[in-house]
Structure 1
Amino acid sequence: MVVVTAIPTIKVDLGAGLADLEWTINAYNLAFACLMLTGAALGDRFGRRRMYVIGLAAFTIASIMAASAGSIDILIIARVIQGVAAGVSIPVSLALLADATPPEKRGAAMGIWGSVAGIAIAAGPVIGGIITQGISWHWIFWLNVPFGIAATVGSALLLRESKGPRPKIDVPGLLLASTGLFGLVWAAVRAPSIGWGSFEAYGSVVGGVVLLALFVAWEFKAKYPMLPMEYFRHRGFTVANISAFLQHFALIGALFVLAQLFQFGLGSNAMVSGLQLLAWTAMPLVVAPFAGKLADKHGSKPFMVAGLALLGIGLLWIGLVTSAGVGYGSLVVPLIFGGAGIAMCLPTTINLVFASVPPEDAGVASGVNSALRELGGVFGVVALGAAFAANGSFESAEASLSGFQAALVLGGIVALVGTAVALFAPGKPKPAGPVVDVRPPAEEVIETPIN
C-alpha cells in the first residue's frame, strides 16, 4: 500500500518505464504468493520462531537495499527479497500466534491480529502519501528498518520455539506447490499487459493447474505430506479457506480500484485519497477484536456470513452510486459497511481454519490460508482491473467512472458468493481431525522391555 502511492515519484527519480514500475509491485507479489506453503513447511521442520526471525531479518536487510537503490533494477531485486522474506514470515507468524494461545481464546487473539492488519492497511496509503510528498520515496523503505530490527530482536528473545509433527520436508510436494502457484500468479500479473489470449498467459495458467493437480496427487501418497489432503474433508477447513480466497479477491481488488477512483475519478491527491479510505480501512482496527472475541463464544459462522454480506453490500452500493459529481458523503456509509465486513470475516475465517486441524498442524493451516488469501488478492486485482478496462478508460475522469462502477459491482458479487459459501460453515467449533501419524513404520521401532 505504501509503495503504490510512491510509484509516480519513483518513475521520475529513477527514470523507470511503465513495465519497470509494474515489477516493483509484481516482483514482490510473485515471491510472496508462491512461498506461503514453503514458509509454513520450513517453519514446521526447522522451527517457526527460527524461520520467523530469519524472515524478519531478511526483510529488514532488503528494505535497506530498496531504500538505497540508485536504479530501478536494484529496487526490483530488493522487492523480490522482501517478497521471499514475507512469504516465510507471514504463515509462521500465524502459527506462532496459534501456538501461544489456548483454543478457547484464539478468536480474540485473531481479532487483535486482524486489528493490527487493519492498522497497516489504513496507515499505508496515508503514510505513503505523506512521506513521498514531504520527504522522499526512499523513506517508505527506511521506515521499515527500526521496526524490523526491533521485531527481529524481540522475536528472537521473547517468542517460544515450536515445530510441526513431520520429521522430514516433503521436497517433491514443496517444489510442485511452489512452481504451480508461480504459474498461476505469473499469469495473473502478466495478463494485463500481454492479454489472456497470449500463449504465455494461458500456458502459465495451464502449467500451474497441472502442477497443482500433481501436487494433490503426490500428497495422497507422500510419507510426510506437507498438506494432508484429509483436512479438506473437514467442512470448516474447506469452507473457511474458500471464503478467505473470495474475501481477499473482493477486498484487495476493491482497494486497488477505490484508490484510483478517488484519485482519478474524483480528483483527490494521494494523501487525501488515503484519508478518504480510512472509513473503510480503519474498521478492522475497531471491529475485529470484538468479532474475534464473540466468535470464541458463538462460533465463526455468523461473523463470516455477516462479514462477507456487508462487504458485498458495501461494494455494490458504491458501484451503484458512483457517478460524475458524486460527493464523498454519499460513499461514507457503504465504505463503513465494507470495512466492518472485512473486520468480521478476516479473523473468524483464520480462527475456523485453526480449529479444524490438530494443534501441532497450525503451520499447515496457516500456510494454506495465507496462500489462498494472497492468491485471492492477486486475482482480484486482475479481475477487477479487467472489468474496468472492458467498461471504461483513463482518457478522462468521466470515461473512467463506468469502469470503476463495473469493477466494484464485480467485487460485490464475488463477496456475496463468499457469503453463500460461508453458510456451509459448521455452526459451532468442531473437534479437530485425527493427528497425522508421522512415526516410523512398525519395523523401524525398537521395543524396549519394561521390568
Structure 2
Amino acid sequence: MEATPTRHPRRWLILVVLCLSTLVLIIDNMVLTVAVPTIAEDLNASAQDLQWVLESYMLVFAGLLLTAGSLSDKFGRRKMMIIGLSLFGAASLVAMEATSPGMLIAGRALMGVGGALVMPSTLSILITVFDEAERPKAIAAWSAVAMVGLVGGPVLGGALLAQFWWGVVFLINVPIALLAITAAMVLMPESKGPWRKADPVGMVLSVIGMSALVWTINELPKGGLSHHSTQLSLVITVAALIMFGIWETRSKSPMVPLAMFRDKVFTGASFSLVLLTLANGGLMLVLTQYVQFVLGYTPTETGLAFTPLAIATLLFNTLGASLIAKTGTRVMAVLGLLVIASGFVVLANMTTESGWGVLAGAMLLMGAGSGLAMPAAMAAMMGAIPDEHAGVGSALNDTIQQAGAALGVAILGAVLSSTFTRHMPADAPQMARHSIGDALAVSAQTKDSGLLDAARSAFTDAMSATFLVGAASVVGAAVLAAFLMKGKNSGPVPAESAVDPATEAESDAMLTSL
C-alpha cells in the first residue's frame, strides 16, 4: 500500500506570508492611483510625468515576470521572494523621498523589479507546499486577499491622504515587506526545480516582447496606429514574441516549456483567464468614471461602492473551493463565468438614474462569479504544470492575467471612448466630445447644464455598450472552459474522492443544463 505524502505542518502559516507578500504589491498600486493628483501638485509633475509614474512599474513588472519565474525555479523560490520583497521595500523608500518626478519614476521602476521577483514566487511556493486536495482552498484564500487589496486600496489611500503627505502611500509598504521577509525566513522551506542550463536568449526576448506589448497596448487608445512610435513598438512586439516562441520550441533548455499548451486543461484555463481579465480590466476603468462623474461619488465613496464585490468574492471563494472536490474545476469555472457575465449584463442596463442598490446587486453577482471561477481556473491551470516548472508556470499565469488586463483597458477603453463621442450631440464643443471628464470641465466653465446632462447620458450609453462587450468576452471564456478544461487535470480533488467516469458524466450533464 502506497504511503500518503506528509503535508507540510506550517503550510497555513506559510499561506499567510504569501498573502501578505501579494497584498503589499496590490495595495501599493491601488493606493497610488488615489495619490496621483497630490503628487502632481507637490512635484509639479506634467501629464507625461504622471503617465511614466504609473507605467514604469507596469512595463518593468510585465517584462521581467517570465525571467523572474525561471530564476526562482533555478535558484530557489523563497530566495527570489525575499530578494524581491527587500528590493520592493527599499525602492518604496526611494519613491517616498522623491523630490522630482524623475526620482519617483526611478523608484517605481525598481519597485517593478521587486514585484516581478515576488509575484511568481508566491504562487509557485503555494502549489509546492499544498497538495492537490488542499490547493483549491489555498488558491481561493490567496485570490481573495488579492481582491481585498484591489477594492480596499483606494479606500485606504483616501484615508491616509486625508491625514498625511503623499509619501505615506509608499511608506506603508516597508513594515509589511519586513514582516513578510522575517516570516519567510522563519517559516518557509526552500524549493527549486531540477538543475537546468540558463536560457539568456529566451530571457532577453521575453523582456523585450512583453515590455513592448504592454507599451503598445497602453499607447494604442491615445492615437491608434497613426503614431510612428506606436507602429514601431508593435513591430518590436510581434518580432520579439515570434522569435521567443521559435527559440523556446528549439532550445534544449527552454525558459518556458511551451509544450504545456498541448495540455487542453492548461490551454483552456489560460485562455479563459485571458478573456476574463480582459473584461475585468475594463470594469474598474469604466465603473469608476460612472460612479464619480454620473452618480457624483467622492473617491472614498467610490472605493466603498466596490465593497459588495469584495465581500461576495470572499464568501464564494470559500464555497467554490469546497465544491471543486465534488464537481471538478470545469463545472465550477463555467458556472462562475456565467454568473460574472450576468453581472456585466446588469451593469449594461444601468441608467443615469440608477442608484447604489442596482450597482451593489451587480457587484454581488460579479463577486460571487469570481469566487467560483477564479480559484477553479487557476487550480486547473497550476495543476497541469509540472512541479519543476512551478516558478515559470506561476509567472506565465501572472503574465497571462497582466496581458489580459492591459488588453481590457485598451479594448474596452476604445469602445467606451468611441461610443461616447458618437452619442454626444453634434453641436457640442469639440473638447467635450472626447471624454466625460472633459465634458464636465467644459460644462463647469460654461455653466451649461444641458451639456452636463448630455454628457452623462452619452457616457451611460457608452458604458452599456462596453459592458456588453465585457459580457461577451466572459461568455467566450465559459465556452472555452467547457470544451477544453476536461480530462485528468480538470480539477484537483482529494485522492479518496477522485472523479470517476460516472462523476465526469454527471459533470457533463450539469454543464449541458447550464
**Residue 146 (structure 2) pairs with residue 127 (structure 1):** no
Cα distance in 2 for partners of 1:62, 1:424 equals 45
User: Within 5 A, what are the aligned runs for 1:397-412?
Assistant: 397-398=455-456, 399-412=458-471
2:382 to 354, 362, 374: 354
Match of 1:329?
Answer: 357
The TM-score, its normalising length taken from structure 2, stands at: 0.81
Match of 1:25?
Answer: 54
Match of 2:69?
Answer: 40
Give how far 1:431 is off. Answer: 8.9
**Residue 249 (structure 2) pairs with residue 190 (structure 1):** no
User: Within 5 A, what are the aligned runs for 1:3-402?
Assistant: 3-321=32-350, 323-392=351-420, 393-394=435-436, 395-396=439-440, 397-398=455-456, 399-402=458-461
Query: Could you list the per-position Cα deviations for residues 314-337 of structure 1 after superposition, in whole angstroms to 9, with x for gaps in the alignment?
Result: 12221222x222211122111111
Q: Tell me the matched-pair count.
A: 431
Give how far 1:228 is off. Answer: 1.5
Report the more deviating stretch, 192-201 or 302-311.
Answer: 192-201
Distance 1:203 1:281, change over 3 A: farther
Cα distance in 2 for partners of 1:402, 1:348 equals 34
Distance 1:429 1:288, change over 3 A: farther
Query: Could you list the per-position Cα deviations for residues 350-391 of structure 1 after superposition, in whole angstroms to 9, with x for gaps in the alignment?
Result: 211121122222123211111000111111111121112112
Give how far 1:275 is off. Answer: 0.2
The TM-score, its normalising length taken from structure 1, stands at: 0.91
Query: Could you list the per-position Cα deviations for residues 379-428 of structure 1 after superposition, in whole angstroms to 9, with x for gaps in the alignment?
Result: 11111211121122220351433333332222222112111111123345
Give how far 1:234 is off. Answer: 0.5
Give how far 1:268 is off. Answer: 0.5
Distance 1:233 1:315, change over 3 A: same
**Residue 474 (structure 2) pairs with residue 415 (structure 1):** yes
Report the more deviating stretch, 303-312 or 264-273.
Answer: 303-312
Asked if the contact 1:110/1:289 (under 8 Å) is kept, the reply is no
Cα distance in 1 for partners of 2:157, 2:373 equals 27
Cα distance in 2 for partners of 1:306, 1:197 equals 41
Report the more deviating stretch, 414-423 or 356-365.
Answer: 356-365
Residue 274 of structure 1 aligns to a residue in which SS?
A: helix
Cα distance in 2 for partners of 1:144, 1:403 equals 37
Give how far 1:166 is off. Answer: 4.0
Give how far 1:284 is off. Answer: 2.2
Distance 1:237 1:74, change over 3 A: same
Cα distance in 1 for partners of 2:109, 2:99 equals 16
Give how far 1:251 is off. Answer: 1.2
For 2:289, give the aligned amino acid: Q
RMSD of Structure 2 on Structure 1 (CA) = 1.8
Cα distance in 2 for partners of 1:404, 1:76 equals 32
Asked if the contact 2:280/2:405 (under 8 Å) is kept, the reply is yes
Runs of at least 5 residues in structure 2 that lack an aligned partner in the other structure: 1-29, 421-434, 441-454, 492-514
Cα distance in 1 for partners of 2:114, 2:459 equals 37
Cα distance in 2 for partners of 1:345, 1:84 equals 30
Report the more deviating stretch, 357-366 or 141-150.
Answer: 357-366
Cα distance in 2 for partners of 1:198, 1:232 equals 35
Cα distance in 1 for partners of 2:228, 2:328 equals 46
Give how far 1:206 is off. Answer: 2.9
Give how far 1:278 is off. Answer: 1.1
Residue 373 of structure 1 aligns to a residue in which SS?
A: helix
Matched-pair identity in %:
32
Distance 1:114 1:73, change over 3 A: same
Distance 1:77 1:378, change over 3 A: same
Asked if the contact 1:320/1:409 (under 8 Å) is kept, the reply is no
Asked if the contact 1:118/1:283 (under 8 Å) is kept, the reply is no
Residue 195 of structure 1 aligns to a residue in which SS?
A: helix
Asked if the contact 1:117/1:284 (under 8 Å) is kept, the reply is no
Asked if the contact 2:56/2:109 (under 8 Å) is kept, the reply is yes
Asked if the contact 1:47/1:163 (under 8 Å) is kept, the reply is yes
Asked if the contact 2:66/2:399 (under 8 Å) is kept, the reply is yes
